[in-house]
Each structure stands twice: as C-alpha cells, then as structure tokens.
Structure 1
C-alpha cells in the first residue's frame, strides 16, 4: 500500500500547485478528478485496515497494443492503451466481468478499487477491469496531439477499442459464455457504456450509464436552464432569491462590458491582464459563470465551499453590498480556494492552450476533448436565451470560433458532426435493451440523457437532489436517502441481469 500513499500525497500536493488556465471549468474538472482519486485512496486504505488479516491482491496495470484505426488495417500504426485488472473478488470460474470505461481524463488503479461498481463487484464475485480512453492519460503516442493524429480520436474508435479489449481479457483469463459482462461509465463514458451495449450486444450483456449525455447538441442551452433551476432549488440550498441575485449580478457585469468599463471589471474580478479584445470580455463572463456551473454540476466536490448552498449564502449576504459586489466576493473566494493570484481571461491564451501538442499523462485532456466536441458532440453551454442567469456574452459563435481557430473545423462541419452522432447512436432514444440510465436532477447533463423508461429493459432513474455521477461514488453513511435508494435499485438490476444471463445460458 506504500505506493498508494505516495501517489495520494502527490495528488494532495498537486491541489496546491495547479497553475491558472484560461477556463475555470477545466480547472474545476481537474480539481474534482484529483479530489475523487484522493477520496478513493482514503476509502481503499480504510477498507484494507479493517481487512488486514485477509491477503490482498493489488490491481494489475498493463498495456494493450491497439491499432490507431480499427476501420482501416492498412494504416498499420498502433498505440499502447492502458488498463487495470482487479481479481480480488472474482469467483472462478463463472464470476461476471465488470468493465469500467474511461473517458476524457486519465484513469488510475482506483477505477478497479473504489466506487459503487466495486461494492457490487465484491457482492457478485466479479472480475473488475478498466480501460483508459484512447488519447487520454498514458494511452497516447508522443505525436498523439498533432492534428493529423487526432483524426483517430472518436467515440467509434473508442468502442472498437473496447471490443478489442474484450477479446484480450477473454483470452487472457480463459473466459467463456458463462462469464457475463456488464459495463459501467459516468458522463461521456456513461454514453460509451450505453453505446457499447447498443453496438456490441453480443459482447456486453448489460450497461449502467450514469449521467450519460447520449443526445449530442450543438447549442446546449439546457445546461444553464438546469443550473438556473438548481440555484432556485431549496433541496440543495438554492432559492428564488439566490437565482434573482445571480441574474442581477451578471446583468451588472454585462452593463459594464457594454459600456466599456473594462478597467473597473479587471480590478473588481482580479484579472491577470487587461481585457484587450472582445473575446477577452467573453472569457471573463464565462469564467465567472463557470464558478456557478461547476458548483451545480459537482456540488461540494473538488474545492472547499464549492456548493450551491455556499454560493447562495454569499449571493444573499446583503452585508457585502449589491449583487454585483457579492459576485466579486464569490470570485475572490474561488480564487483563494484554488490558490490563484488572479483570473486568467486571455482568449489568446485559451487558443494557445488548445493548440498546444505537449503531452500531459495525467488529468483532463482539454485539447482532445475540445476536438471531440468539434467533431462529434457540440455540447456548447451558451447563454443567449432568457432562461440563462449569466452573461449574454457567452455565445455559440464564440465557441464555434474556437473549433475553426484551433482545429480548422468550420461551424457548419460541427453541426453536421452533431447530427451524424445522433443518427448513428439514436440520441436519447437509442432503442437498445438492458441499459439503466442513472441521473441526478441537479446535474445539468441530465438534460441530454434518457430520463424515462424507454422499454421494459431500457430503464431510467432520476435521483432527487444529486449531482453529476453521484451514484458512482462509494457509499457513505451521510448519503441522502434518494441516493441510497437509487444505489439499491441499481444493485437490484445488476443482480437481476446476472440471474437472467444464467437463465439464458441454461436454456441454450
């Protein structure tokens, strides 16, 4: 366990030394990723201390040689894709296989050590395996971030990777039809879990798709509609007054932007540099909105006081002055919590970051993910309709401009890609079977997922008061009742699928 402690200490240290980037939301995602891994480490260590007399088999890390292009074997080039295997709970010879699918960030050994899927792996005697997504983390060649190489980054290639991994694990562990595969994923990997079951039903018997935005959308106005509703929701500490104060604060920001009072904004919100270009003003507006968007999406995960309740407490504190001044206080608290001296509002810096082909083997892959949004999904969170509580400077055109500036993908090509994705997978009506879609109702991404039962075996759970992928975390005594009941329902369906698989095998 010593290497776990050292890794965790490194992660804790990294929380203190993140450099400011040009998008607050990416920083929040990075922080949440690190926070979750540290929590997983603590949970794993605690469990091992309780079970000290029991021998423990550490997860195995390995790499699988994958073709860069599964659909053109004449291409010839390959890359190393990282995976983990945990045999600790596996009941030989017929125990099931639980596949944890990686997404737009690096994966670690904790993907097969911690989480609700691992609690079920222990209960059902499953072999736990996890595959890191191509072009993220360590699963990438040195030239992987070059424009020419990124053309091999797609959800279709990722599903083919999973099929190849299925064959590899089957051969390595001499699996048979008696070993039932169930896959798990959250957020984009939640979509991959659903799509793997949809496109490869002969390989995976069922899927749990958590917070899965299976409907691609160019202009994702629904994201901030959910944020607005969550800021008004007393279940998570919101209120109509809080929502109103946020609206007033951002209206005041827009008034100053329209009036050209840029020096005032630079000072009030601790900008790292002057707002020289119109795009810098959009960047400031987006960065301020990101604080609220991140608090709703992750609600208390990732950084201290990053919750709807805490932000609303500040936004309702009349002792701080006007709603605009309360927004200044929110921003100040955010910068202090993230240990940043200032807010980076340079649009050119954002473009430079997205153009950078320097590899980082940990954390969120910003360049890679933005490429996927430009070539498959859209998902651009805008604020051009009346329901949005933030700045009207958050436009679709500014997001699409990045696709053109960074990757040379024109706006019409992005729209075509989004339409194709929905045609290819079926959007939020995928017409599959044995998929369980799980969402939290304050998670903005639930707006693009499946929220109602589609058939007798394509089912949906909507959890009151929970955020993004909350059901995937390890169970805690402090979990709210709706989350506890949702996990019990997930567990029931997993057990039911395994019983059904045995019946199908015995009848064949």
Structure 2
C-alpha cells in the first residue's frame, strides 16, 4: 500500500497543463489514477496477501535508445524505462507478452495486473512492458523544448520496441520458439496493431483495444457517438436526457450571446472572468468535457457516468439547472473549488517544458496530434449536442501558437499517417481489434473482420479499453464473452506458433 500511496502523492501535485479544455485534462488524469488503484487492488487480491505486506516487485530497468533511429549520424541517446515480471514464465520456451506504453507514465503495475497479466498466468508467459519515449521517466532533460520534442513520433516508438525486443531476447536467451504477443489500449492499441504490421518477424500476434488506427483531422464522429450514448437506455441514457443536454447548451449559448457572462461565471464557478472569444470557447468546452468524459470512461469513474448524469439532467427543474447540478457533482468529485476557463492559461500550460516523471504527458500528446493524428473532437456538425463554438480551427490554432505548426502541415501529417499504416484497413494478420460501442473512439478503429486472422470484437454496453482491466465478477456478460473470445483466439495462435517452430 505504501508504494501506491507514494505514487499517488507524486501524481497529484502535477494535475495541470494539457490538450483540449481544462476539464478534459483533469478527467484524463483522474482516470489514470483510478486505473492505478484498480490494478493495485487486483494485484494484491490475486496474491491473496493483506495489503501492506511486502512482495517481490517487478524488475525495473532502462535501455539506452537512439534519439533518432533513422539517422545513425545523430549519436544522441536517451534512457527508456521498462519492467519485467518473470513470475509466470515457463522457461525456456514460454511466450513473451509485451505491454506497450502510451501517452502517460507507466508503472510496475503494467506487468502485475490487467487482462494481459491474467492471460500470461494462463499461458505461462514472460511479461514485459516498455514506457513510451518522451513520457514518464523516458525522456531527456531538454525533451519538451521545440528542438528536443521533434523526435517524438509513433514511427520512432515502433523502432524503440524493435530495439527493446532485441534487448529482452539477449537478456533471457530467447529464440524463435519464444512467441511474442503485444498488447495495448487506445493510442498504444494502435501501436500494438502497427508493431505487428510493420515488424511481423518480431511479434507473432497483437491485441489492439480501443485503437484509433485511422487518423482524422476533424473527428466529428466522436460527439456523434457521445450523443448516441447519452440516449442509449442500455447504459442509463435516454432521448429525454439527450434533449435536456442540447437544451442546456442552447441556454448557455444564448447567455453568452446576450453577454450575461457574469451569471455564467457565477453559476459554473469560473476561476476568473471570461474574456471573448477564446475564453468562451474554453468555457463551453469544459462543460462539454463532463459529458464526453462520462461517456468515454463510463463506469470507470465512481463520480460520473451516463446513468448518473442523465438522472440529474432529467430530475432538475430545467435543463439549465440540470447542467449546473452536473457541473457541481463533477467539481465535488474532482475536488475543485473553481474551473479554469482561461485560454491564455491553457496555452501557457502547453508551452511549459518542465519534465514530470508521472501522470499524463499533455504537451507531448498535443504535439503528436499536431504532427501525426489530428483527432480533434469538434462540434462542426449539426448532430453535436454541445456548442458550435467548439471548432476545428480553434484547436488547429493551438498547434501554430504552441508548436509553430501551420494548419496545412497538420493536414498533411494526418494524411501521411493513414498512408503509412493503412488507416482502418491495415492489411496485416493475427490482430484482434477490441472495441466497445459506448466508446467514441471506436469510430476510428476496425469494427469488422478484415480477414480470417484480422478479427474485430465489438462489445455492447462498454466504453474505452473496458477489456484491459482485471476481470471482475461484476463484468457484464458481453465483456465476459469478449474476454473468452480473446483468450481462445490467443490460445489458438500460440498453439500454431509452437507447431510452426
């Protein structure tokens, strides 16, 4: 317990800075903490040990990586953090399960708990995980400067994985008989699929959970799924709830138009006065983030999910009062006294180059959206239930302001990413794409079988990366069935790998 408490103490002071509006940043960071707690509890439950009893931790190490894998005349290097868990491994021929890190710091729990760990226990696999370059402790001191950050990309990250494969193979005397399977969720889910796609001689199969493999500049489908989820009775939504949400934002818009801004500042606890037009956009985005976060992480956060939000919206005396109530519940859960709506403050936070070894890497991730993926969640569509002020151009302006990247370059980067990886038709083999229909990111993933071995599993009633956490007795039947399908398919592939070797 002391180890986890120390981890959370280290994380909490760094809850600032980020991509998107301020509330979105707070939600992502809180979910990051909650997942660590969940993995911690699962780990000790599996051991059958009282919390606080010492245990053998996973082995932590560092690999020296080239800063630029594609220019060997650049001799600069950095140290990348990894973990190894040999607890279940059947030497010498057991498989290797690789957990791929993403846009946040990793911890030893990446090889101690989760779906991949349960599968490793079943298949007697060696567990390894690699923290993504430029996140957590895997970054040089000057890594966040405009000059230093230019070596942050998914292509470099895949090359890191290839080097790590060599390190682990040499360290444990692995051969072709040791079958590698990689796992990842969200952006690391894409990396998992792409590692199999680009390095099929290194990794035999991949599980890609909630993986947005199709880059999208203007991701309008995100809020289309949010709207559908708010009206989905399976998870506690309804058409009445969605109508109330739409109405509440129309009222907010009218108050902004009528310049009744002081009332909005008071009713929604703004940390400072709102200045048009940029702060107005931050303000409506922060309100929208509460609903977007409740959908994307439905049932992960005890303070907010679709059912609770819809109950509060419908039971209120008016749509506007419902929005106030939802905002207050969110703030109470997050421990906030006010909400930061200053656009200048957001830009200032994104420009900071100080390193943090824990938490979510906000500056780094926004840089990747500007240079590779886009993924900008906008209301540039009539079906969006929020404010039309949430535009693509507003978010593209951040790329130019913070990183000096013009709009045309962002567009070209997104197009290249899809050409390089194949978007949602990657033409690979032995990949399982797992998605939940509640999760807005499923709109950019693979939802139908591409071949007999590029398999899509679509889970009814689940949100972002729902299958990746430790299994629980309370898992819905659809999730339990998906876990069984994943386990069976991996068992088949491991068997075929043994027969081939």
Q: Normalising by the residue count of structure 1, what TM-score does the alignment of the two structures yield?
A: 0.95
Match of 2:399 in 1: 403
1:311 to 2:309 alignment: yes
Distance 2:66 2:326 in 1: 47
- Pick the aligned partner of 1:484 from 464, 475, 480: 480
Q: Is the 8 A contact 2:44 2:50 kept in 1?
A: no
Does structure 1 residue 443 correspond to structure 2 residue 467? Answer: no
Distance 1:261 1:395 in 2: 22
> For the aligned residues, what is the CA RMSD?
1.5
Q: Which residue of 2 aligns with 1:412?
A: 408
- Find 2:377's aligned residue among 378, 381, 401: 381
* SS of alignment partner, residue 456 of structure 2: strand
CA distance in 1, matches of 2:363, 2:92: 42
Counterpart contact for 2:14–2:356, Cα < 8 Å: no
Q: Structure 2 CA distance, aligned partners of 1:398 and 1:261? A: 23
Which structure 2 segments of 5+ residues have no match? none
Distance 1:204 1:20, change over 3 A: closer
Match of 1:83 in 2: 82
Deviation at 1:73, TM superposition (A): 1.1
| SS across alignment from 2:498 | helix
Kindly tell me the number of residue pairs found equivalent between the two proteins: 496
Are the counterparts in 2 of residues 19 and 340 from structure 1 also a CA contact under 8 Å?
no
* Cα distance change of structure 1 residues 116 and 32 upon mapping to structure 2, 3 Å threshold: same
In 2 relative to 1, CA 175–443 (structure 1 residues): closer, same or farther, beyond 3 Å?
Answer: same
Partner of 2:282: 283
Matches within 5 A, 1:72-471: 72-302=71-301, 304-317=302-315, 320-471=316-467
Q: Residues 474 and 283 from structure 1, CA distance in 2 versus in 1: closer, same or farther, beyond 3 angstroms?
A: same
Distance (Å, rounded) in 1 between the aligned partners of 2:68 and 2:41:
39
Hey, what's the Cα distance between the residues in 1 that align with 2:157 and 2:201? 17
Structure 1 stretch 482-491 or stretch 263-272: which is displaced more? Answer: 263-272
**3-state SS, counterpart of residue 62 of structure 1:** strand
Per the normalisation by structure 2, the TM-score is 0.97
SS in 2 for 1:409: coil
Paired residues of 2:437 and 2:458 also in contact (CA < 8 A):
yes
d(CA) in 2 for partners of 1:46 and 1:461? 28
- Superposed displacement of residue 386, structure 1: 1.1
Any conservation in 2 of the 1:16–1:338 contact (CA below 8 Å)?
A: no
Summarize deviations over 1:286-306 as a string: whole Å, max 9, x none.
Answer: 00000000000001324x321
Displacement of 1:346 in angstroms is: 0.2
CA distance in 1, matches of 2:12, 2:249: 29
Q: Could you tell me whether the CA contact under 8 Å between 2:221 and 2:440 is conserved in 1? A: yes
1:259 Cα deviation after fit: 2.0
The C-alpha deviation readout for 1:213-262, integer Å capped at 9, x for no partner, is 00000000000000000001011110110011001001111111222221
Q: Alignment partner of 1:209: what SS?
A: strand
CA–CA separation in structure 2 for the residues paired with 1:163 and 1:18: 31
Q: Does structure 1 retain, via aligned residues, the 8 Å contact 2:14–2:359?
A: no
Report the alpha carbon displacement of residue 182 of structure 1 after superposing the two structures with TM. 0.2
Change (3 A) 1:460 1:108: same
Q: Residues of 1 paired with 2:16 and 2:499: CA distance?
A: 55
Describe the SS at the equivalent of 2:48.
helix
